[in-house]
C-alpha cells in the first residue's frame, strides 16, 4: 500500500518486513502532508497491528504536525519505532524530547548515519559564533 498526499514529492509506502509493518516516508512532513501520514498510521492500527516501524531517512523536513501524527499513533495504541531518520527529523525529535523513538534496526536495513549532539552543545556553538562575529 502506498499513499500520495497530492503534495509534490511526499510519499508514504507501507510494506511488511518480517511480518511487521514498515512505513517508508519521503519528502516534507508538514501541515499539508501530515494527514497522509496519520491516515497510513491509522490504517496500520485498524489492521490490528500494535507495532510499526518508520523509515524517515528520506524526510527532508518535519514540523510539529509530523510529531503530532506520531503522538496520535502512540495514543491509539501503536508502538512507534523509527528505524532510520534524516538529520532534519532527528533534530525535531531531540527538541521535542522524543529521540528515544529512534531505535535503529539492522534487520530492516542499515540505519541512516547520524550523530547525536546534546542541545547544550548547540547553545555553546551559538555563543562561540556570537563571540566570533562580534570580535570578542
Q: Which structural domain range is residue 93 located in?
A: 2-134
For residue 50, pLDDT beyond 60: yes
Q: Is the pLDDT of residue 102 over 90?
A: no
Q: Model confidence over 74-100: pLDDT tens digits?
A: 998 999 999 999 999 999 999 988 888
What is the average pLDDT value for the chain, to the nearest integer?
79
Domains of the chain: total: 1
Q: Which residue has the cell 534524516?
A: 86
Q: What's the confidence (pLDDT) of residue 46?
A: 93
pLDDT digits (tens, 9 = 90+) for 26-38: 999 999 999 999 9
CA distance 54 to 135: 45
- CATH number of the domain within which 40 lies: 3.30.750.24
Predicted model pTM: 0.71
**Helix ranges, the chain (H):** 34-46, 64-75, 87-96, 119-134
Q: What is the DSSP letter of 102?
A: B
For residue 53, give the C-alpha cell: 516501524
What are the phi and psi torsion angles at 124 (to 5°)? -65, -40
pLDDT at 42 over 90: yes
Spatial neighbors of 47 by CB under 8 A, at least 6 apart, are 21
Q: What is the pLDDT of residue 9?
A: 84
Neighbours of 32 (CB within 10 A): 14
Amino acid at each position: 500500500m502506498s499513499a500520495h498526499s497530492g503534495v509534490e514529492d511526499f510519499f508514504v509506502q507501507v510494506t511488511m518486513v518480517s511480518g511487521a509493518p514498515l512505513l517508508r516516508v519521503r519528502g516534507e512532513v508538514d501541515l499539508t502532508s501530515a494527514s497522509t501520514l496519520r491516515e497510513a498510521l491509522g490504517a496500520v492500527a485498524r489492521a490490528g497491528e500494535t507495532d510499526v516501524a518508520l523509515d524517515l531517512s528520506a524526510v527532508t523536513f518535519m514540523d510539529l504536525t509530523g510529531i503530532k501524527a506520531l503522538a496520535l499513533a502512540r495514543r491509539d495504541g501503536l508502538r512507534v519505532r523509527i528505524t532510520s531518520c534524516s538529520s532534519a527529523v532527528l533534530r525535531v525529535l531531540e527538541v521535542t524530547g522524543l529521540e528515544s523513538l529512534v531505535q535503529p534496526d539492522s534487520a530492516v536495513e542499515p540505519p541512516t548515519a547520524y550523530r547525536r549532539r546534546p542541545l547544550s552543545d548547540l547553545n555553546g556553538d551559538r555563543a562561540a559564533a556570537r563571540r566570533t562575529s562580534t570580535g570578542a
